Structure 1
Amino acid sequence: MDINELIAIIKKKLSDKINIQNIEIEDKSFLHKKHKGNQEGKFHLKLNIVSDELKNLGRIESNKKIYKILDQELKETIHSIQIFIS
């Protein structure tokens, strides 16, 4: 899977389950290319999400909700994920 496919899947899955006003996803994998634990085909992503629904849940609960929705991707194609909610 390439990064553009992954980003499209993440946007669709999150938008289908959460009321999101805006979502931006950045590929930060290049920052980790030389790290010992870096794996080919595993991505490092930064999510910037504007969502009143998530903001009202609080940080821990909103992150849990996102992790649950992206469970399969986290197991298969995402190595690390940063989540910023506003």
Structure 2
Amino acid sequence: MDINELIAIVKKKLHNQINIESINIEDKSFLHKNHKGNEEGKFHLKITLKSIDLKQMSKIESTKKIYKTLDKELKEFIHSIQILIT
């Protein structure tokens, strides 16, 4: 899977499961290029989203909801994820 395909899947899944006003996903894989444990085909994503629903939850609850929604992608294609909720 390439990064553009992964970003499209992540956006679609998050929109389907969470009420989101806006979302921006950046590829930050270069940050992990020489890290031990970094694997080919796994990406580092920075997800910035605006969601009143998530903002009303605790940080732990909102993060759990995102991780549950992206479970398959986190296991197979994502090395690291950074989440900013506004």
TM-score, normalisation: structure 2:
0.98
**1:74 paired residue number:** 74
Amino acid at match of 1:2: D
Amino acid at match of 1:22: S
- Deviation of 1:57 after TM superposition, in Å, equals 0.9
**1:41 paired residue number:** 41
Counterparts of 2:32 and 2:76, CA distance in 1: 17
- Deviation of 1:59 after TM superposition, in Å, equals 0.6
- Deviation of 1:78 after TM superposition, in Å, equals 0.4
Amino acid at match of 1:11: K
Q: How many residues align?
A: 86
1:56-71 pair list within 5 angstroms: 56-71=56-71
**2:51 paired residue number:** 51
Identity fraction in percent: 71
**1:23 paired residue number:** 23
- Deviation of 1:36 after TM superposition, in Å, equals 1.3
Q: C-alpha root-mean-square deviation of aligned residues, in Å?
A: 0.5
Counterparts of 1:58 and 1:47, CA distance in 2: 17
Give unpaired runs (5+ residues) of structure 1: none
